[in-house]
Amino acid sequence: GRSAKPTAQDNTGESLFVQLLREAGVSLRYSNTPNEIAVDQIVFQKRLQRSLRKHPRYPNVIQEFIAGLESHIEDQEKFRNCLLPCAPRSSDGDASTSYQESLVKLLLGIEMLQPAIINTLFEKLPEFMFDGIGEDGLNIPHIIINQFKWLDRVIDSKDLASKLMQLVAVAPGEIQRDIITSLPEILDDTQHNDIAKELNTLLQQNTQLSVPILDALSSLNLSPTLLSEVRRAVMATLSAVELEDLPVVVKFILHAISGPEAIEVVGDLRKKLELESCVLPPALQASQNRLKNKAVAGSSLSKADISSQNCVSLVLDVIKSAVRFQKTISEAWLKAIENVEAVEDHKVIDLLVLFILHSTNANHSRRGAERVLRMKVRGGQIRETLLQTAFRGHSLVMRSYFSAILALAQILLRSPDPSVVTFGSHMYKQAFTAFDSYCQQEVVGSLVTHVCSGYAHEVDVSLELMCELVTQRPSDMAPYAVFVKGILDYMESLTPQQIRKLFFILSSLAFGRDPQGNHIQDDMHIVIRKQLSSTVAKYKRIGIIGAVMVVGSMGSSRNNSESTSSQVPSLSKETYRQVTALLELVRSCSEGSPEAAALYYDELANLVQTGHLDPLVQEWIGKSVLEDFQEDFVVDLGPEMKGTYPLPAKIMYNLDEEESQGGIAVNLLPLLSEDFNHKGGQWSQTGEESKRRVSPLCLAAFFRLLRLCEEEQHQGDLEEIDALLGCPLILTDLDVVEKMDSLSKPEKEFVCSLLFHTINWFREVVNGFCQQTDPEMKVKVMTRLQNITYLQSILEKCLAATPAYLPPPANFDCEIAEVGPPASTTIPAKKGKKERPGKKRKIPASKNSSGDSSQLEEGAEAEESQHEKDNPEKEKEKEKEEGKAGVSLASYRPYFRELDVEVLGVLQCGLLSRSLLDSELHTKVTEEVQLGPSELVFLLEDLARKLDFSLASSAVKRIPFLKGKADKSVGFSHLQQKSPSDITSCCVRLLPALCTHLENSHNYFQGLLSENHGVVDAPGVDVKEHQLMSSCYQLLLQVLHTTFNWNGFTQQENRKLLKMALGVLAGRLKEKEVELGLEELVRHTFEYLLNFRSTMPNCSTALSLNQLLMVVAERAGPSVSAYREQIGSLSRQFLCQEWVLPSGERERGNKYNETLQTFLSIYLEHTDDVLKAVEEIAGEGVPELINTTKDGCSKTFPTLSRQTFLVFYRGLMAVLEKAVRRIPPGKQTDSGEIQGEKLLTWNLAVRDFHILVNLVKVFDSRTVLGVCLKYGRLFVEAFLKLGMPLLDFSFKKHKEDVQNLLKTFQLSTRQLHHMCGHSKIRQDTGLTNHVPGLKKSLEQFVYRVKAMLILNNCKEAFWLGNLKNRDLQGEEILSQRAQDSEEEDEEEASQLPQEQSEEEVPAEKCRYVVGSILSEGEEKPSEDLVRLYEKYGFKIFPFPEVTHVVTTTFPHRTFLSIFLSVHRVYPQLGSYIK
C-alpha cells in the first residue's frame, strides 16, 4: 500500500521532502530545468497537506519537511528553481493552465507550513541582498518578496509585517522600494493602519523613499484621521519633490479626500504645484513650437525635455482621473481657482485643470469650467500672458486637451463681453500656432463657422484673427483656402468692414506666394464681376471693396522679398494687364453712382496708403487723378461768377489773398446746386451729358486719393497740390444763418448740405497737410481747424432750424451709404424723430450722454423736485435759448469725414508766428496762431473717441444683446486698419504735448482760484471759457486713462512701450539721470499726476483723475498695494469737497450721482478699515445732514445731501454686505484670540448695520426702503452662514460679547420686520417682492439662535413670542378685522350678503398647524421621540378631546364632484350648525 512506499524509498536515500512532493504531484528538477507539476495546484496542496497530516510522525514530520526544504535550497540553482514558476508535465495532457505558481508559493499556501517557510525565506534573503540582478537577469530578492504577494491567507500577519519592516530598516534602497510597494499586496486589512504609521515615520526620516511609501499608502485602507495626518506631512514636502516623483505624490494627495477637507487640500496642492518649473529651456522653445505630427517631434527635443513633458502629462492624468471619479474634487478645484483674486497668483495649472474639467464627460464639471474661466477672464485675473506661457511651455501636454480648448474657445468667442471674446481668439491663435495640421484645420473650420454665424462681434473677431494668421503664417493657412472661400456664400449679412477683411484674407491666400491657395482665384474673379455688375448699391459696394483688395494682392510690390528681389524686379506683363483691367472695370461700374464712385476713391486711397503697390500700378493710378480732380472740382478765380443758384455765391475762406491773381477755388456751391436740381431724377443716365456730371459727394474722397498718390510719388512732399490748402471755396454768405427761419425747407437743407460739404472738405484738407513741416502750411492747417470749429457752431444752429434733415453721407464703406441723397420718406422721418427732441435737450445732455444708459432713480426724483421749483416761464425761456444754441453734433458724427490719427500731431504745435502772412481773416487780423480751447476740445474729443474705440477696456465696451441699427464703427474705418499697439505708440509720442496742455489747464484753474481767493463761482468768471477748459482738463485725463488702461500693456512685448509712456510723465516731475525701473517710473508718474488734485473744476474731472491714478498704480504689478492708501485718501478728499458750478449752484443730476457712487465705492475699497469708514459716514455724516435745513448738506461730507443720500445709502449697504462676506467663518480649532478678533469684527459690522437700518425711520422714501430690504436680506443670510458658526464655538468663552451682538442684531431684525409690514400696507410690488425672502431669513435667524443655545446647553435662555405688525415709526398696524369694521358700511353692497359675511372667520383668527401625532388616547408618547423632536425645535402640546363633530359625505364620480361639493356641502353644513 501507500504507507509502505515511502519507507521503501526512504531506504534508497531519497529525502522525505522530495518523496512527499513527488507523491503530491511535483517532481524536482535541477540546473536550468523548471520543477514539474503533474496535477492541478489546488490538488497538489490538498494532497501534500493530507500526506503530512496522516504521516505517522505528524506533527514532527513538518519540521523534517522544512529541514528537507532548507537542505534542498542550499544549492542556489535549486533555490532559484523553487522560486520560479513550475512547468506543467507535458506527458499529462490534463494540465489546466499554462502558468503555474512557484514551488515556494504553493507551499506558502499550505497553512501548517506557512510560518516556517516565511522564516526560512527571511533567513535566506540576506544572502542575495547585495547581489543585484544576476547573469540570468533574475533579481532573487525581488522574486522572494513576490512569493508573499496575494496569499489566500496569512496566518500571522502582524509577525510578517514586523519582519518586513525590520528588513526595510537594513536593506539597500532597491530592496526597500520593492518591499514597501509590495506591502498592500502582502498584508491583510487588519495591519494597514499599523503599517501606515510606521511608513509615515519612515517617510519623514527618509525622503528618498517617498514615492514607494506614497504608492503603498494610497493602496492601503487607512482611517481618515491617519490619512489626513500623512497627507499634511506630504504636502509640506511637495515643493522639494523631484519632477519624476510628482505624479505619485499628487495621486496620493488626491487619494480618498472627503467632502469637507477637499477644498482645503486642493487649495494647498494648487499653491504648491509649480508646473512653470517644468518649462523647456528658452533655446528649445522655438523648436517645440514648430512640432507637428511628424518625425521631427523626436529629434527636436532631448530625452530630458520629453520626460519632463511626460511627467507633467502624468500629473494631469492623475488629476483627470481624480476629478472624473470624485465630484467633490472637481468642485474643490473650481472653488480653489475661483478663490484666487490677484492676477499674479494665477498659474498655468489653473488653465490646465480647467481644460481637464471641460474634457470630462460630467456636465457639472464642464459647465463649472466654462463659468469660472469666463468669470476670471472678465475680471482680468486670467490674462493672455498666462495662456501664452501655458502653450509655450506645455504644448505637447495641451495637445491631448485640444477638443476642450476648441470647445472653450468657441464658447468664449460667443460671449457678449469683449474681454472674454479677445481671450477666446487668443486661444484659437495659440492652438493654431502650437499644434499640428489636424488641429489647424479644426481651428480654421471653427473660425469659418463663427464668421457665418451672423453675430457681428463673432464675425469681427474671427475675421480679425484670420487676417492675423494669414499675415503671420501664410504658408500654414494656404492649405485651408477652400474652407475660407465658403464664407462668400454668407456675405449678405456682413458689413463693409467685414467684407474688406474677408477679401483681404481670400486675396492673400489666392494671390499670395504659396501656390496651395491659387485654386480659388477663378472663383474670386467670378464673384467680384458678378457683384460689380449688380444695380443694387449693397452688392456693388461688395464688388468694389473686393476688387480693390484683389488689386492690392495682385499688384503688391515684390521688391521687398529677399527670395525674389534679384529675379522678379517688378510685376509680370500679364499680371499688370489683369490689375489695370480690373481697375478699369471697377471705375466704369462705379461711374453711375456718386456713392459708388466715392467708395472706389476711398478704397483705392486706402490701398495706396499701404505703400505696398508695385510702382507700375502706382503710376497708373496716379497719372489720371490730378487732371480729373482739377477738371471736376477746381475753377479759376475770375472777376465774376455766372449762374443762378438757390443762394447768392460768395468766395470765402481764402488764405492766399495776396496771390489772388490767377488763383483757384473749389467749385462747391455750383456743384451742390446742380446736384440739388437733379435730385429728383436718376443721378446718371446712359447719355453723354449726364456722364460728365460731378457730385460734391466725391470731393473729399477724390482729394484724399489725390493727396495720397502725390505723397507716394514725391516721398511725402505735397508742393504740387499745396494751393488746395489755402484756396477759397465758392459758398454763400453765412449771414443767411441768422435768417434761417425765413428760408424755405429746400433752402434750409441746401445751407445745411453746403456746411456739411465745407466742413468735410476742411477735415480732409487738414488730414492731407497736417504732417507738412513748412511753418506757413502749419499756420494754414491751424487756421483750417479754427474754420472747422466755427462752421460747426453755425451748423448746430442750422440743424436746429431744419428738423427731419438727412445730411449727405461722408463715409461710404458703411451701411449709412445706402441712405444717400435720393432718400426715401421713412428714413428722414426716423431721423427727425431722433433729432427733434435734441433741439431742447442736446446741449445739457451732451455731457451726460454716458450716464443715460444707467440712470439712477434718485436722480429722477431730484429732477422732479427741481422742476417743481422752477416756474413754467423759466422753462419756456430755457427752451428758447437752447433752441437758438442749436443741437449737438454728436449724433451727426457718421456724416463727417474721419480725421486721420496723424492730425492729432497738431496737438504738439505751440505758438505759430504768421508774420509771413499778413492776411485778413473773416474774424480778425492776427499775427500769430495757436490752439485755442475750442480747437483743443475738438482734437481731444476726436482722440478720446479713437482711443475708446481701439483701446477701451473690455468692461466698458460691453456688446449689447440686441444690436442697435447704428453701427458704432462708422467713422473709424481708417483707424480700424491700424493695430491697437500702433495707436498706443502714436499716443505715447503725443504724451509730452498732452502733459503740456494738462499743466496749462491746471495753471488756468490755479490762477482762477488764487484770483478769487479759492471761490470757484466768483462773479468775474467767464462761464463759457470755464466750461471749455473744464472739458479740456477732463478729456486730457480720460485720454491718459484710456491709454494706460490698454490691456496690451500686460504683455511682455509691450513692456518697453509702457516704460516709455511712464517715462514721459515721470520726466515732467524729475529729470531722469539714469534708466529707472518700472516701479520707480510708476512712483514718479503717480506723484506727478497727484499734483493736479488741487485744481479739479468739477466732480467728473476729479473722478477721471482718480481712475487714472488707479490705472497707473496697477501698472506697478505686485507693489500696487503701496498706492492703496493714497487712492483711498484722495477719494475721501473729493467726497469731502463741495462741488459748485461757475454759476454758483451745487452740482446735481444723474451724472453727478453716478460719479459720487463711483467715488464712494473707490474710497471704501481702498480704505484699510471698511467697517470704520462705513460707521464714520453713517454715524457722523448722516446725523449732520439730518440736523441741517432742507437744502443743506453734511459738514464732514459736503457731497452728502438729501438729493444724494440714496447714492451713499446704497453704496454703504452694498459695501457692508461685501465686507461681512469676507470675514472668515469661525472654526472650532480657532484659538481664543482669533475668535475674539472675529467677534469684534462682527460686532462692528452689526453695529453699522443697525445704524443703517434705523436711518429708514428718517429717510423713508420708496427707493431707500427697497435698498434696505434687498441688502438687509443679504446681510442676514451672510450672518447666518458665517457669523452663527462663530457664535456656536465662542459662546462659552465670550458670553457677554455674543449676547451684546445678538441684542444689537435683534433690534435691526425687528426694524426689518416692521419694514416688511409697512411694505405690505403700501401694496408696492417693488417692495413686497423682497419681503418673502427676508421673512424667511428672519425666521431662520430665530431658530438658528435657538440651535446655538441648545448646543451650548442654554436652552432655557431662549424665549419665543409673536411680533406685532408695526409701521416704520413703531406704531402698531391695525388688524384686518379693525380695518374691515371701519370700512364695512362702504363694502357691504359689493361684498357677500350681510348674513353670510358675519359667518366668515376673520383672517387673523384663521389658524392651522402642521405636525406629527406622537400618541393617541391614554397611550403615552415615547420619551426618546419627544427628546428628538424637541432637539430639532418642535413644540409639543396636547389637543383637547373631540366631543362634538359634524361630518358629511359627498359622492366622488368625476373630477367635477370636487367643485360641486364645495358649492353644495359648505352651505348645508353652515345652515345645519346654525
Q: Is the pLDDT of residue 52 over 70?
A: yes
Query: Residue 761 has what pLDDT?
Result: 92
923 or 121, greater pLDDT: 121
**Pairing outcome for strands 729-732 and 649-652:** antiparallel
**pLDDT at 1103 (0 to 100):** 92
Q: Is the pLDDT of residue 612 over 50?
A: yes
DSSP state of 1333: H
> Given this model, what pLDDT does residue 1386 score?
38
Evaluate if residue 602 carries a pLDDT over 60: yes
Band of the pLDDT at 912, cuts 50, 70, 90?
low
| Residue 379 burial (CB count, 10 A) | 12
Whole-number Å distance between alpha carbons of 1230 and 1240: 15
Instruction: Give residues with Cβ within 8 angstroms of 494, minimum separation 6.
Output: 459, 502
Tally of CB atoms within 10 A around 1188: 13
Q: Check residue 401 and report its DSSP letter.
A: T
Per-residue confidence at 1035, pLDDT binned at 50, 70, 90?
A: very high
Residue range 1226-1242: mean pLDDT, rounded: 80
User: Above 80 in pLDDT, residue 300?
Assistant: no
**Residue predicted with more confidence, 240 or 416:** 416
Residue keyed to cell 486721420: 900
Residue 1214's pLDDT band, with cuts at 50, 70 and 90, is very high
Q: Give per-residue burial for 1144-1174: e unless 16+ CB within 10 Å, then b.
A: eebbbbbbbbbbbbbbbebbbebbeebbebb
**C-alpha to C-alpha distance for 342 and 1117, rounded to whole angstroms:** 10
Supply the pLDDT for residue 679.
64
Does residue 448 register a pLDDT over 80?
A: yes
47 pLDDT above the threshold of 70: yes
What are phi and psi for residue 866, nearest 5 degrees? -65, -40
Confidence of residue 816 (pLDDT cuts 50, 70, 90): low
Q: How far is CA 339 from the centre of its chain?
A: 15
Higher pLDDT, residue 999 or 225: 999
Q: Dihedral, CA atoms, 312, 317, 319, 325, nearest 10 degrees? A: 180
Distances (CA, A) of 1054 to 43, 984, 1321, 1372: 80, 10, 61, 67
Cell digits of residue 10: 526512504
Cell numbers 499550505 correspond to 110
Q: Which residue do the cell numbers 454686505 mark?
A: 1217
- Is the pLDDT assigned to residue 538 strictly greater than 70? yes
- Predicted structure pTM score: 0.70
Q: Which three cell numbers stand for residue 929?
A: 496762431
Burial of 1382 (0-12, 13-18, 19+ CB in 10 A): exposed
Asked if 997 and 904 touch (Cβ cutoff 8 Å), the reply is: no
pLDDT band for 867, please (50, 70, 90 cuts). Answer: very low
Strand spans (E) along 608-700: 634-636, 649-652, 664-666
Q: Which of 727-741, 1066-1080, 1369-1383 has the lowest mean pLDDT?
A: 1369-1383
What is the three-class DSSP state of 411? helix
Yes or no: say if 412 and 420 are a contact pair by the CB < 8 Å rule: yes
Split at pLDDT 50, 70, 90, the class of 1015 is low
- HSE, CB side, 13 Å, CA atoms: give it for residue 1101: 26
List Cα–Cα distances, 57 to 62, 350, 446, 1145, in angstroms. 9, 71, 84, 121
Per-residue HEC secondary structure of 124-178 comes to HHHHHCCCCCCCCCCCHHHHHHHHCCCCCCCCCHHHHHHHHHHHHHHCCHHHHHH
Residue 229 main-chain phi, psi, to 5 deg: -60, -45
> Assign residue 716 a region: left if phi > 0, alpha if psi is -120 to 50, beta otherwise?
left
Alpha-carbon distance of 1248 to 1250, in angstroms, equals: 5
pLDDT, mean of residues 619-624: 81
Task: Indicate the length of the chain as a whole number.
Answer: 1474
Given a cut of 90, is residue 298 above it in pLDDT?
Answer: no
pLDDT score for 927: 47
Query: In DSSP terms, which residues pair with 634 in a beta bridge?
Result: 666
Residue type, 383: R
- Of 305 and 346, more confident: 346
Mean pLDDT, range 1245-1258, rounded to an integer: 90
Helices (H), 926-1022: 933-951, 980-1011
**Inter-residue contact 1048 to 980 (CB < 8 Å):** yes
At residue 1110, the pLDDT reads 92
CA distance 313 to 269: 17
Residue 652 φ then ψ, to 5°: -135, 160
pLDDT, residue 642, reads 66
pLDDT confidence bin for 432, thresholds 50/70/90: very high
**% the chain with pLDDT above 70:** 81
- Per the model's pLDDT, the better-predicted residue between 1387 and 525 turns out to be 525
User: Cell numbers at residue 893, please?
Assistant: 458724427
- pLDDT for 447: 92
| Closest-CA residue to 644 (of 674, 675, 680, 681) | 674
pLDDT of residue 948 exceeding 70, the answer is yes
At 1024 the three-state DSSP class reads: helix
Query: Following DSSP, what letter does each residue of 852-897 receive, concatenated?
Result: GGG--HHHHHHHHHHHHHS-HHHHHHHHHHHHHH---GGGGGGGSP
Which pLDDT band, with edges at 50, 70 and 90, does 833 fall under?
Answer: very low
pLDDT at 887 over 90: no
Q: Which has more confidence, 844 or 1143?
A: 1143
**Which segment, 275-284, 355-364, 545-554, 1375-1384, is predicted with the most confidence on average?**
545-554
Q: The cell 514597501 sits on which residue?
A: 180
Alpha helices in 634-732 (DSSP H): 668-677, 688-691, 697-713, 723-726
- Between 222-236, 1161-1175, 1329-1343, the lowest mean confidence (pLDDT) is in 222-236
Question: Residue 847's pLDDT is what?
Answer: 36
Cβ neighbours for 533, distance < 8 A, ≥ 6 positions apart:
543, 589
Structural contact between residues 783 and 800, judged by C-beta atoms closer than 8 angstroms? no
Mean pLDDT of 1426-1445: 76
How many whole angstroms separate alpha carbon 500 and alpha carbon 503? 5
Cβ contacts of 444 within 8 Å, gap of 6 or more: 432, 466, 477, 480, 483, 484
Bridge partners of 27?
36
* 3 state SS of 1019: coil
- Each residue's pLDDT tens digit, 82-105: 989 998 876 554 545 567 889 899
d(CA 495, CA 485): 17
Find out whether 1064 and 991 touch, Cβ atoms under 8 Å. yes
The pLDDT of residue 460 is above 60: yes
Give the span between the Cα atoms of 800 and 839, in whole angstroms: 6
Instruction: Look at residue 202 in the predicted model and tell me its pLDDT.
Output: 83
Distance CA 317, CA 311 (A): 10
HSE (side-chain half, CA atoms, 13 Å) at 117: 26
Q: In this predicted model, what pLDDT tens digit does every residue of 689-707 receive, in sequence order?
A: 444 568 888 899 989 999 8
Q: What would the mean pLDDT of 1270-1297 be, rounded to a whole number?
A: 86
pLDDT for residue 1470 is more than 60: yes
Does the structure show a pLDDT above 60 at 12? no
pLDDT in tens, 1400-1423: 555 555 666 777 888 877 777 888
Considering Cα of 963, then 964, then 965, then 966, what sign does the dihedral take? negative
What is the model's pLDDT at position 1363? 64
**What does the alpha-carbon distance between residue 373 and residue 387 come to, in Å, rounded to a whole number?**
12
Mean pLDDT, rounded, of the chain: 78
Q: Look-up: residue for cell 448699391?
A: 537
Dist CA 603 CA 600 (whole Å) = 5
1204: three-class secondary structure by DSSP: coil
Check residue 284 and give its pLDDT.
40
C-alpha cell at 1355: 436652552
